[in-house]
Structure 1
Amino acid sequence: MKDTIMTHENLDIAKTHLGRLIGFDTTSALPNRAIIDHMADYFAGLGAHITILPDETGDKANLIARFGPEGKPGLVLSGHTDVVPAGGANWTTPPFEMDERDGRLYGRGSCDMKGFAACVMAAAPGFSSATLERPLYLCFSYDEEVGCLGAPAIARHLAALDVPPMLAIIGEPSEMKLITGQKGKIAMRAHVRGTAGHSSFAPSHVNALEYAARIIAMIQDRGRTYVEHGPFDPDFTVPHATMLATTIEGGIATNVTPDRCSFTFELRSIDESRARPDLDTLLSEVEAQFLPEMRAISDEAGIEWEEVFAYPAMGDATRTPGFEALRHILPEWGGKVSFGSEGGVFEVIGGVPSVIIGPGSIKQAHKADEFIEISQLDACLYFLDQVTEFAINR
C-alpha cells in the first residue's frame, strides 16, 4: 500500500461524504433510514443494484449495493451506520457537525465507522466505471453497536446467493492494518428478587442488592481465572477471555431493604466453543450457592437470567481461498482485536470468511471529540484502488 498523506485524488470527495454522514444522527436508539436512503440513492445513481433489508418496524434498514456481475465469487465491503451516543457536554465542537483541524476530522462516527463508509462512497464512481469481473457488495447495517442486530439479515442474504462472496472486509478502525481475529461476546442481565421491609429488620429480609454484589464478586473471580489460567492467544490485544459486570441498579431508600436489583455483565471469548459452557457453569454455580439460603428466608426470592444479545467470534480466514486470492494486496498484519465486529456474523451465519481492515484507531472511538486522521482516509482510498483492480482482473 502506498504510504502517502493527503495525496489521493478522491480525498476531498471522501471528506465531503464524511461530513454529510456525520450530519446524520444515527445513534443506535434512533432510526437510520435517512442515512440508508441517502447512501442507496447515491449508489443507485452510479448504477449499483440496490437491496434494502428493513427491520420489522421499517424505521431501520440494511443496505446492500452491488457493483459488478452476479454469478461470480466477489468481495464484501462492510460497515455499520449506527453510532454510540454523543453526550455533548465534553465535545469541543458539535458532535454531529464535522470539524477539521490539525490533520484530523472530528465528529461522532468519524472513526467508528463512517470514515470507512465515506471512503467507499468516494471510491464508488471507480467501481461503476470499471469493467468488474467480480462483484463488489457494499453492505451497511443498523444496530451494530447494540449487539450486531442488523448484520444477520445481510449475512443470510449473501448466503442465499447462487455464488456467495469469497471474503468480507469489515471496515472497523484498524489503522489500515489487517486484523484476522475478533472475540465473540455474550451480554447478560441478572434480575435478583428479594423481599422488602424496614431496614431495621434486615435479617428477616432477602437483600437483593447484597446478593447481586455477591454474584458480581463471583463474576469478578471468573474474570481473574481467565487472566491467570487462560486459555491464551497472544495475537489478541487482550490475550484471554474477559468477564465483568457493567451496569447495576437497585434499592429505593436508605431505610428499605432492596427487594429488586438488576445488573448487566458480559463474557468476551477467544474460544467460541467454550463460551456457552463456561457461562452455563457459572450460572449453575451461582444458583447452587445462593438460591437455598435466599429461599430459606422467602420462597419468593430468586434469580432470573436474561440474554441481552450475543454475537460470534470471527475466526482466522488466512487459509481460505478468498484470503489467498487477496493476499497480494492486503496490508501489514495487526493481530487480533478484543472489540466486536460483524465479521463473526458474516462468517458463522453467512459462511463468508472475514477480516478487518479500516481507517482510524479504535482508541478514538466511543469518546468525546472522536476523530479520524485525514492520512487514514488517504490510506483507505489507496487500498480501495487495489480492491478495484482485484475485481477487474479475473
Structure 2
Amino acid sequence: MSTRFTPREMLEKLISFNTVSDRSNLDLISFVETYLGEFDISSQRVPDETGSKASLHACIGPAVDGGVVLSAHTDVVPVEGQSWSHDPFLAWEENGRLYGRGSADMKGFAATVLAKVPDFVAADLARPIHIALSYDEEVGCFGAAPLASDLLARGPRPGYAIVGEPTNMRVVTGHKGIAVFKTRIQGHPAHSSQLHRGVSAISAAAKLISWLDARTAENKAEADPECPFEPPYTTLHSGVIKGGEAHNITARHCEFVTDIRLLPGDSKEAWLNAYKSFIEAEVLPDMKAISADCAIDVEELAYVPGLSEEADGLAETEVRRLTGDNARHVVVYATEGGIFQEHGLSTVVCGPGSIDQAHQADEYIELAELDRCASFLDRLVAGMTQKQS
C-alpha cells in the first residue's frame, strides 16, 4: 500500500533532512524517489559535477505538451550563529505554526506538492504535472539551469512554470536578477613612509568601490518613477572586503565581493564590461607605472537572471485564475523563476508562507498557508482534468 502524507506530515519529513547548501541533499532526493516510486512514478536525477547533490524531476499524467512545472529548491541556509529555541531540523508546532529550517523557504511548497501526488495520480489529467526539485538555489541557483534543460530535453514540453517561493500565495510576476563577482587586486608593497614607491591594493579597491557606488547613485537619479520595484533601479553593492598586512605597509593584496541587483532586462554583461573598462583605463595604468606586477582580476561567482513581467503570459493568466489575485506584485530578491523563463517557459512565483521568515531563527510557516496551497493545487488539478476540444 502506498504511503500517504498530509502536507504537514510531509513538511515534517522534509525538514528532518539537513540540506544546508554545503551538505549533500541526496538523502532527501532518495526519499522522494522512493515515495514517487510507490505510485509508479518514474523520476530522473540531474546530478551536480561532484555527484554529491542532485536535482530531481518527474512527470505525472499523459505525455503531452502544455502541462505545468511545480518547482522548489531542496537546499536551505545555515543555522550556525542563530539562536533557535528547538532543534531546527526537528519540526515543532506552536499556535498554528510549524517551525523548522526550510519550513517557509521553501520546503512548505515542496511538501504540499508531494503530499498531493496521490491526487495527481488519481485525476484524469488532460495535461501533465511536472515536479521539479533543485539543489543549491541558496548559493547561486546553480542547480536550476541543468534541471530545466534536462526536463525540457526529455519532454513533454510544459506550458508554464510555478516557482513556489513564499509569497503568501500572491502571484509574483517579476523579480530582480543578481550578478555576484569578486575583484582581486595585486598591489606593490612598500614602507608607508615611501608611499611613492608602493601601490596600495586597498587604495585601488577604494577607487573601484567608489565607482560602483557612483553608478548606483546615477541609477537612483535616473530611476523611472513608474517602476514597480523597491528600490526602482539597479543597485551595485560591495558587502565583503579584506586586505593589507600592516598599517605601515602599502597593501600587497585586497579583494572584495560585489553584487549587482539587476532590474529585469538589465544586462549583466554591460555592467561588467563597463566596470572592466574603468579598471583598464583609469586604475590599472597608474598601478603598473610603479610595478609591472600589479594586477586586477574580476571573477564572476554567480548569476541569476531577473524574472520579466510577461504581456498576457500563460503562467500569470492561469495562476491569477486559480488564486483570484489580480494585483501587481514584484519582488527584489532573486528566484529560479528567471531561469525557467530564460529556458522559454512562461513563469510566475507563487507559494505558501512569508518571505519575512526566510533565513530567520525559528523559521516557521502558518499551517493555514499549507491549507491554502493545498486548495490551490486542488483547483489546479480540477482545471487540468477538463478535456480540451
- Per the normalisation by structure 1, the TM-score is 0.91
| Cα distance in 1 between the residues matched to 2:132 and 2:155 | 18
Instruction: Identify if the C-alpha distance between structure 1 residues 114 and 318 changes in structure 2 by more than 3 Å, giving closer, same or farther.
Output: farther
2:98 aligned residue? 105
Cα distance, 1:143 vs structure 2 = 0.6
Deviation for aligned residue 1:12: 8.0
The corresponding residue for 1:7 is none
Q: Which residue in the other structure is 1:6 paired with?
A: none
SS of residue matched to 2:216: helix
Q: AA paired with 2:261?
A: R
| Residues 243-297 of structure 1: per-residue CA shift (max 9 Å, x gap) | 1012112123344332111111011111424332133113312332211221122
2:146 alignment partner, SS class: helix
Supply the RMSD in Å over aligned alpha carbons: 2.0
Equivalent in 257, 261, 273 of residue 280 of structure 1: 273
**2 CA distance for matches of 1:274 and 1:165?**
27
Q: For 2:218 and 2:17, how far apart are their aligned partners in 1?
A: 43
Match of 1:338 in 2: 332
Match of 1:301 in 2: 294
1:126 maps to a residue whose letter is: D
Match of 1:78 in 2: 71
* 2:231 alignment counterpart: 238
What amino acid maps onto 2:108 in structure 1? G
- Given candidates 127, 133, 155, the residue that maps to 1:134 is 127
Match of 1:315 in 2: 308
Distance in 1 (CA, whole Å) between partners of 2:276 and 2:178 is: 16
Q: Which runs of 5+ in 1 are unaligned?
A: 1-10
| Among candidates 242, 246, 251, match of residue 249 of structure 1 | 242
**Candidates 328, 353, 377, aligned match of 2:370:** 377
Contact persistence 2:60–2:121 (CA under 8 A)? yes
After superposition, where does 1:141-152 map in structure 2 within 5 Å? 141-152=134-145
CA distance in 1, matches of 2:20, 2:226: 33
Alignment partner of 1:52 is 2:45: yes
Offset of residue 52 of structure 1? 1.1
Q: Does 1:260 align with 2:257?
A: no
Give the counterpart letter for 1:40 in structure 2.
E
What is aligned with 1:179?
Answer: 172
Q: How many residue pairs end up in the alignment?
A: 383
Distance 1:68 1:268, change over 3 A: same
Cα deviation 1:70-89 (Å, max 9, x = unaligned): 12310000000011111144
Q: Distance in 2 between matches of 1:355 and 1:287?
A: 40
Give the gaps of 5 or more residues in structure 2: none
Amino acid in structure 1 at the alignment position of 2:277: S
Between 159-168 and 382-391, report the one with greater CA deviation: 159-168
Q: 2:105 aligns to what SS in structure 1?
A: helix
Contact 1:32–1:60 (Cα < 8 Å) also in 2: yes
Change (3 A) 1:216 1:126: same
Q: Distance in 2 between matches of 1:288 and 1:61?
A: 43
Inter-partner Cα distance in structure 1 for 2:36 and 2:229: 36
Within 5 A, what are the aligned runs for 1:61-76?
A: 61-76=54-69
Name the amino acid aligned to 2:117: A
- Structure 1 residues 275 and 161 mapped into 2: Cα distance closer, same or farther (>3 Å)? same
Distance 1:318 1:174 in 2: 21
The one-letter amino acid of 1:308's match is L
**Match of residue 201 from structure 2:** 208
Q: 1:347 aligns with which of 341, 345, 354?
A: 341
CA distance in 2 between counterparts of 1:89 and 1:187 reads 25
Could you tell me which amino acid in structure 2 is paired with residue 342 of structure 1? Answer: E
CA contact (8 A) 2:200 2:251 kept: yes
Q: 1:261 to 1:37 in 2, by over 3 A?
A: same
Match of 1:4 in 2: none
Instruction: Write out aligned runs for 1:184-203 (5 A).
Output: 184-203=177-196
C-alpha separation between the residues in 1 aligned to 2:81 and 2:283? 42
Identity of aligned residues (%): 38
Task: Classify 1:88/1:46 alpha carbon distance in 2 versus 1 (closer, same or farther; 3 Å).
Answer: farther
- Are 2:314 and 2:346, in contact at CA under 8 Å, matched by a contact in 1? no
Name the amino acid aligned to 1:38. F
Aligned AA for 1:170?
A: V
Inter-CA distance 256–93: structure 2 relative to 1 (3 Å threshold): farther
Which range moves more in the overlay, 28-37 or 198-207? Answer: 198-207
Distance 1:331 1:241 in 2: 31
3-state SS of paired residue (1:367): coil
TM-score after normalising by structure 2 = 0.93
For 1:300 and 1:316, locate their aligned partners in 2 and report how far apart those are by CA, in whole Å: 47
Alignment partner of 1:225 out of 179, 201, 218: 218
Residue 306 of structure 2 aligns to which amino acid in structure 1?
A
- Of 352-361 and 238-247, more deviation after overlay is shown by 238-247
Q: Matches of residues 159-170 of structure 1 in structure 2 within 5 Å? A: 159-170=152-163
Q: Greater CA deviation, 146-155 or 250-259?
A: 250-259
Instruction: Show the counterpart of 2:28.
Output: 35
